[in-house]
Chain A
């Protein structure tokens, strides 16, 4: 199977660039970022607020099956250009006592038409520091192992 999503993270830089081509016309790709019900489905989160305009704001909340809030995400749109670009801040709200403290990141999402039936998204995420970027890159690995077993995670941490 072809790998469509590419991640580019240059050593020593505080940004990540994610690119993806979609078998979707540009208007449908953009709609996936505009409609709260659709965002909720593919992001797997509850959408509390989604104001699709310059200086608008958004708020997401993810809960476990028991209804406990796991993650809250919020941000504002300094720039919102229909079917072209979304610039947004992205803040994962810190949970007290968590060993990992998040900082606000800045995201530039560029939407492009490739053909009448395909489109491309380029997402540039800018972090406060190189260290924070590297930590964010490793998070899904840490979580995956966590789900398998906490002890293996401890072993991995110990190796660092």
Chain B
């Protein structure tokens, strides 16, 4: 359960989604990925390690270079999962709760 929650935190970040998008079509080195962003290289490395930790990305060594590619199996698992549905209702109900708390204090 915890691991799956991390996956959704991973894809909640716009930079990480952009990285997944880049790597979705081709295998890339960390340097080539970083070149697509204005963000500092260590920040991109951090994003890559988060995506690798939750198995959305896989890496393999080729000589001195580390290449990244997307883990299709994991992406599919995430796509099937119901967490975003739960989040949608949780957001809605949180809003309901805070509105009604204000309503109560207005009286």
Contact = CB atoms under 8 A, between A and B. Distances in A.
B99 A41 contact: yes
B88 interface: yes
A130 interface: no
Interface string A96-123: 0000000000000000000000000100
B21 interface: yes
Given A4-B93, A23-B97, A155-B75, A149 B17 contact: yes
A42 B92 contact: yes
Interface residues of B, number: 35
Interface of A: 3-7, 9, 16, 18, 20, 22-24, 28-29, 31-32, 38, 41-43, 121, 136-142, 144-145, 148-149, 151-152, 155-156, 159-160
A152 B80 contact: no
Interface of B: 11, 14, 17-18, 20-21, 24-25, 70, 72, 75-76, 78-90, 92-93, 95-97, 99-101, 103-104
B85 A139 contact: yes
12 contacts: A4-B93, A7-B85, A24-B101, A29-B96, A141-B84, A145-B11, A149-B21, A151-B21, A151-B24, A155-B70, A155-B75, A160-B79
